[in-house]
Amino acid sequence: MQATEAEQNNIRHNTDPAKVVLGESGLYHKSLCDYVINVATGCSHGCKFCYVPSTPNVTARQEMLAEQAAVDDGQQEWGSYLLYRDDLPERLGRKLDRKQKWKQTARGRGVVMLSSGTDCYQDRRTAQITRGCVVELIDHGFPVRILTRSPAVVRDLDVFEWAVEQSQNQVGKLIRVGSSIPCLDEGQVRAIEPGAPSPQARLRALRTLSEAGIPVYVSMSPTYPTQTRDDFDQLLGQFADLKAEVVFHEPINPRGGNFQMTIDAAREAGETTLAKELERISNDREYWVEYSLKQMEWAEELGEKHGVDVHVWPDKQVIKSVGEKKAQELLRQRDAVSPERIATPSLPS
Ligand code: SF4
């Protein structure tokens, strides 16, 4: 471990020596972005279902994690290490100055997302890196999507207001800010998103931004198998009040080495109904498909009731498990472009 490594609140902090600045992303499949910037490796929120520790950014970097933060197992120890990329804004600015081409797919629309592999406002230091990156991107005329569970995002309201001003001559806006709010039950959320702020705090942050004229959206992902139609009704009513441009919805998918950890965490926290339901969708494929279809239908139906656009992300395995007609409907929903009005990137002349 290097001398700069430090431990606070049981989280090991250090720096990530990676030189990657701006990564092309496959998240255009979800109509989210064409590029991603991850301001850190690791995430102190430690959501048990998080897919990030099973991606190559963690699995292929075990040696670096051991060296920088004494991590033995990037998945098992997810939530207990955080490696910052402090010089990202500076390197990003230089990269954007030189950039001659910009990827712009029909569904990704040239958007840069911060962040898909960590929470970009989880503490002061990630927030500082994020702020610097957003300023560089907007200054160069590239659209930005923020996704965070942290209410600290409101501290950058001045930057977001400036980004909206910079979009004045465009049909769409250069900035949008979203939060992941899948469930409002504080106990269940605490059980499987143990380090993340409460859902009410996330809602309040989005409300503040929306009232200030910043475009906001919600990632209602992943919704829990214990949630009822009434829960969805309440959630979508709240998102409509926020004037969210769109609500992305996805049921939980029982895959990866972390799913048993999710079940165990729910059980250990005393959320036995949640633990039982998670176990059932993990062991019974038909039950999982049924739950997924039911929740996506509720999201669509209740989105319509509350006048909020819902964009669902059906899982590939769910699409394969249904009849031809339903599969076509799900594919249409999956391949749609989100209704957000996004500014066109300024391509180099
Ligand atoms: S906030 Fe996002 S990146 Fe962080 S642990 Fe949760 S799901 Fe993973």
Cα of 258 to ligand 1 centre, how many Å?
12
Does residue 7 surpass a pLDDT of 90?
A: no
Residue 263: pLDDT over 80: yes
Extract the runs of DSSP E, i.e. beta strands, from 81-212.
Answer: 81-84, 112-114, 144-148, 175-180
> Measured in angstroms, how far is the CA atom of residue 90 from the centroid of ligand 1?
25
Report the percent of the chain where pLDDT is more than 90. Answer: 93
pLDDT tens digits for range 233-254: 999 999 999 999 999 999 999 9
- The CA 193 to ligand 1 mean position distance, Å, reads 8
> 212: closest CA among 181, 235, 179, 243?
243
Q: Does residue 213 carry a pLDDT above 50?
A: yes
Distance separating alpha carbons of residues 256 and 250, to the nearest angstrom: 16
pLDDT in tens, 334-349: 999 999 999 999 876 5
Residue 24 has φ and ψ, to the nearest 5°, of: -65, 145
pLDDT tens figures, 114-171 = 999 999 999 999 999 999 999 999 999 999 999 999 999 999 999 999 999 999 888 8
Q: Is 279 in the pocket of ligand 1 (CB under 6 A)?
A: no
Instruction: Name the closest-CA residue to atom 8, ligand 1.
Output: 50
Q: Which atom of ligand 1 is nearest to the CA of 196?
A: 1
Q: Whole-number mean pLDDT of the chain?
A: 95
Q: Is 45 in the pocket of ligand 1 (CB under 6 A)?
A: yes
Task: With residue 216 as reference, give the H or E element that holds it.
Answer: strand 216-223
pLDDT value at position 328? 96
Q: What is the pLDDT of residue 184?
A: 97
Phi, psi of 212 (to 5 degrees): -90, 5
pTM here is: 0.95
CA distance 86 to 124: 12
Looking at residue 125, its pLDDT comes to: 97
Structure confidence at residue 295 (pLDDT): 98
Say yes or no to pLDDT of 209 above 50. yes
The response to whether residue 202 sits with its C-beta less than 6 Å from ligand 1 reads no
Per-residue DSSP letter, 270: T
**C-beta of 48 in contact with ligand 1 (< 6 A):** no
